[in-house]
Homo-oligomer: A and B are copies of this chain.
Protein backbone atom coordinates (compact mmCIF):
# COMPACT_ATOMS: atom_id res chain seq x y z
CA UNK A 1 0.00 0.00 0.00
CA UNK A 2 2.84 2.37 0.82
CA UNK A 3 4.42 1.58 -2.56
CA UNK A 4 1.07 2.27 -4.20
CA UNK A 5 0.72 5.68 -2.53
CA UNK A 6 4.28 6.52 -3.57
CA UNK A 7 3.40 5.54 -7.12
CA UNK A 8 0.33 7.80 -7.04
CA UNK A 9 2.34 10.71 -5.65
CA UNK A 10 4.96 10.26 -8.34
CA UNK A 11 2.24 10.24 -10.99
CA UNK A 12 0.83 13.52 -9.66
CA UNK A 13 4.32 15.01 -9.72
CA UNK A 14 4.96 13.52 -13.18
CA UNK A 15 2.08 15.44 -14.75
CA UNK A 16 3.95 18.62 -13.79
CA UNK A 17 7.49 17.56 -14.68
CA UNK A 18 6.22 16.25 -18.04
CA UNK A 19 5.44 19.82 -19.08
CA UNK A 20 7.96 21.50 -21.40
CA UNK A 21 10.69 23.24 -19.40
CA UNK A 22 12.92 26.03 -20.65
CA UNK A 23 16.34 27.40 -19.73
CA UNK A 24 16.82 31.09 -18.87
CA UNK A 25 18.01 31.71 -22.45
CA UNK A 26 14.72 30.35 -23.81
CA UNK A 27 16.08 27.01 -25.01
CA UNK A 28 14.01 23.93 -24.25
CA UNK A 29 15.43 21.58 -21.61
CA UNK A 30 15.69 17.95 -22.70
CA UNK A 31 12.61 15.91 -21.70
CA UNK A 32 13.28 13.19 -19.12
CA UNK A 33 11.53 9.93 -18.25
CA UNK A 34 9.64 9.97 -21.55
CA UNK A 35 9.91 6.17 -21.79
CA UNK A 36 7.23 6.07 -19.11
CA UNK A 37 4.96 8.21 -21.29
CA UNK A 38 2.40 6.78 -23.74
CA UNK A 39 4.03 5.11 -26.75
CA UNK A 40 2.05 5.88 -29.93
CA UNK A 41 3.95 4.26 -32.80
CA UNK A 42 7.23 3.36 -34.40
CA UNK A 43 8.62 3.66 -37.91
CA UNK A 44 11.80 2.86 -39.80
CA UNK A 45 13.72 4.82 -42.40
CA UNK A 46 11.07 7.52 -42.79
CA UNK A 47 12.46 10.46 -44.76
CA UNK A 48 10.92 13.47 -46.43
CA UNK A 49 13.21 13.76 -49.43
CA UNK A 50 13.77 11.40 -52.35
CA UNK A 51 16.18 8.56 -51.50
CA UNK A 52 19.83 9.25 -52.36
CA UNK A 53 21.50 6.80 -54.72
CA UNK A 54 24.35 4.89 -53.09
CA UNK A 55 23.24 5.68 -49.52
CA UNK A 56 24.41 2.68 -47.46
CA UNK A 57 23.65 4.04 -43.99
CA UNK A 58 21.30 1.67 -42.13
CA UNK A 59 17.81 3.14 -41.69
CA UNK A 60 16.91 4.56 -38.28
CA UNK A 61 14.01 3.55 -36.07
CA UNK A 62 11.90 6.26 -34.46
CA UNK A 63 9.72 5.59 -31.42
CA UNK A 64 7.19 8.29 -30.61
CA UNK A 65 5.87 9.05 -27.12
CA UNK A 66 3.39 11.61 -25.75
CA UNK A 67 2.70 12.69 -22.16
CA UNK A 68 -0.02 10.49 -20.61
CA UNK A 69 -2.27 13.47 -19.75
CA UNK A 70 -2.00 14.92 -23.28
CA UNK A 71 -2.80 11.44 -24.64
CA UNK A 72 -5.94 11.16 -22.50
CA UNK A 73 -7.06 14.63 -23.59
CA UNK A 74 -6.48 13.79 -27.27
CA UNK A 75 -8.42 10.54 -26.98
CA UNK A 76 -11.26 12.35 -25.21
CA UNK A 77 -11.73 15.25 -27.63
CA UNK A 78 -9.37 14.84 -30.60
CA UNK A 79 -7.32 17.93 -29.69
CA UNK A 80 -3.75 18.24 -28.48
CA UNK A 81 -3.81 20.44 -25.36
CA UNK A 82 -1.44 23.37 -24.82
CA UNK A 83 1.98 22.14 -23.48
CA UNK A 84 1.73 18.83 -25.36
CA UNK A 85 5.15 17.28 -25.93
CA UNK A 86 5.84 14.47 -28.39
CA UNK A 87 9.26 12.86 -28.03
CA UNK A 88 10.82 11.04 -30.98
CA UNK A 89 13.50 8.60 -29.87
CA UNK A 90 16.01 7.63 -32.58
CA UNK A 91 17.91 4.35 -32.88
CA UNK A 92 20.32 3.04 -35.48
CA UNK A 93 18.87 -0.24 -36.70
CA UNK A 94 20.75 -3.52 -36.37
CA UNK A 95 20.29 -6.83 -38.15
CA UNK A 96 21.21 -10.50 -37.96
CA UNK A 97 21.56 -10.64 -34.17
CA UNK A 98 20.87 -14.25 -33.18
CA UNK A 99 18.33 -15.74 -33.85
CA UNK A 100 17.10 -13.16 -36.43
CA UNK A 101 17.84 -14.03 -40.05
CA UNK A 102 15.79 -11.23 -41.61
CA UNK A 103 14.59 -7.82 -40.50
CA UNK A 104 15.92 -5.03 -38.32
CA UNK A 105 15.72 -4.16 -34.63
CA UNK A 106 16.52 -1.11 -32.52
CA UNK A 107 20.24 -1.18 -31.84
CA UNK A 108 22.27 1.91 -30.91
CA UNK A 109 20.45 4.74 -29.15
CA UNK A 110 21.18 7.98 -31.02
CA UNK A 111 19.12 10.52 -29.08
CA UNK A 112 15.80 12.34 -29.07
CA UNK A 113 13.95 15.10 -30.83
CA UNK A 114 10.77 16.80 -29.63
CA UNK A 115 7.68 18.59 -30.92
CA UNK A 116 6.09 21.00 -28.45
CA UNK A 117 2.79 22.84 -28.47
CA UNK A 118 3.23 26.00 -26.46
CA UNK A 119 0.69 28.68 -27.24
CA UNK A 120 2.13 31.35 -24.96
CA UNK A 121 5.73 30.90 -26.19
CA UNK A 122 4.72 30.53 -29.86
CA UNK A 123 1.41 32.42 -30.16
CA UNK A 124 1.43 32.29 -33.96
CA UNK A 125 2.89 28.87 -34.90
CA UNK A 126 1.73 27.13 -31.67
CA UNK A 127 4.19 24.26 -32.31
CA UNK A 128 8.00 24.22 -32.22
CA UNK A 129 10.58 21.52 -32.98
CA UNK A 130 13.81 20.65 -31.18
CA UNK A 131 16.76 18.31 -31.72
CA UNK A 132 18.69 17.12 -28.65
CA UNK A 133 21.01 14.78 -30.54
CA UNK A 134 24.48 16.21 -29.92
CA UNK A 135 27.68 14.86 -31.41
CA UNK A 136 28.51 11.95 -29.12
CA UNK A 137 26.49 13.29 -26.19
CA UNK A 138 22.88 14.49 -25.82
CA UNK A 139 22.35 18.23 -25.49
CA UNK A 140 20.94 19.44 -22.16
CA UNK A 141 18.94 22.09 -23.99
CA UNK A 142 18.18 23.02 -27.60
CA UNK A 143 17.04 25.98 -29.64
CA UNK A 144 13.79 25.76 -31.62
CA UNK A 145 14.26 25.08 -35.34
CA UNK A 146 13.38 27.98 -37.64
CA UNK A 147 9.81 27.82 -38.93
CA UNK A 148 10.77 26.62 -42.41
CA UNK A 149 12.77 23.62 -41.16
CA UNK A 150 10.04 21.47 -39.59
CA UNK A 151 6.97 23.54 -38.85
CA UNK A 152 5.99 24.22 -42.48
CA UNK A 153 6.05 20.55 -43.50
CA UNK A 154 4.19 19.46 -40.35
CA UNK A 155 1.65 22.21 -40.87
CA UNK A 156 1.07 21.23 -44.48
CA UNK A 157 1.03 17.42 -44.21
CA UNK A 158 -0.12 16.52 -40.69
CA UNK A 159 -3.59 14.99 -40.52
CA UNK A 160 -4.24 16.56 -37.09
CA UNK A 161 -2.91 19.90 -35.78
CA UNK A 162 0.74 19.66 -36.96
CA UNK A 163 1.06 16.03 -35.73
CA UNK A 164 1.68 13.20 -38.20
CA UNK A 165 -1.15 11.17 -36.68
CA UNK A 166 -1.30 9.27 -40.00
CA UNK A 167 1.87 7.39 -38.93
CA UNK A 168 0.98 6.61 -35.29
CA UNK A 169 -1.54 3.81 -34.78
CA UNK A 170 -2.13 4.41 -31.06
CA UNK A 171 -3.20 8.00 -31.80
CA UNK A 172 -4.83 7.16 -35.13
CA UNK A 173 -7.05 4.23 -34.18
CA UNK A 174 -10.49 4.95 -32.77
Contact = CB atoms under 8 A, between A and B. Distances in A.
Chain A: interface secondary structure?
Answer: mixed
Given A61-B42, A109-B173, A166 B97 contact: yes
Count copies of this chain in the complex: 2
Given A36-B38, A46-B100, A169 B106 contact: yes
B8 A44 contact: no
Contacts of A91: 169
Given A42-B106, A47-B103, A106-B168, 18 more contacts: A4-B8, A7-B8, A39-B63, A39-B65, A42-B63, A43-B103, A43-B105, A44-B61, A44-B93, A45-B102, A45-B103, A45-B104, A47-B102, A49-B101, A50-B102, A97-B166, A105-B167, A109-B173
